[in-house]
Amino acid sequence: MDDYAREMMELKTLVTRTLEKKGVLAKIRAELRASVFEAIEEEDRVENDDGGNPALLGSCNDRAKQLHASPSGRLLTALVCEYLEWAQLSHTMKVYLPECNLPKDFWKNELKDFSNKSGAEGSRSAESGPMLLDVLEGYLKYEVYLLHDH
């Protein structure tokens, strides 16, 4: 390898490392994945004239389908979606929902129903973090309660 080629390889390595450290390459990869899924989802929507949900890449796997069919599975998925929105991981969300073969905003109604049933809606604020964190912290407090008081 001549000096020019070696210098170019070193420069390429340096630029790649710098972009990785700053999170730029991860963001580009996420945007690319989201764009690919959106393009496939749009094509499915055009081909699927029966009004049903688009079946992205042949739909999700059987395990996920079974989970999404149960109330707790839908709530779990909704909590994950709410976390992705809270964390501003919009590209991940654009891949996650189509891969699960779920409508774009289905999770908002699931969380609204859960909040109404649990009474959590009135006590939540935008700064309080994702609801999934509240659920996890509640569970951990309950575990500590069980260990120390019983």
| pLDDT given for residue 57 in this prediction | 46
For the whole prediction, is pTM greater than 0.85? Answer: no
The C-alpha atoms of residue 70 and residue 92 are separated, in whole angstroms, by 23
- pLDDT below 50 — which residues of the chain? 50, 52-58
Supply angle C-alpha 106, 66, 118, rounded to 5: 50
Long-range contacts formed by 3-9: CB under 8 A, 24+ apart:
none
pLDDT by residue (tens digit) across 79-104? 999 999 999 998 888 888 878 888 88
| pLDDT given for residue 73 in this prediction | 92
Give the residue numbers spanning the domain of 90: 3-149
| pLDDT given for residue 87 in this prediction | 93
Domain count, the chain: 1
**DSSP codes of every residue in 43-66:** HHHHH-TTSS---GGG---HHHHH
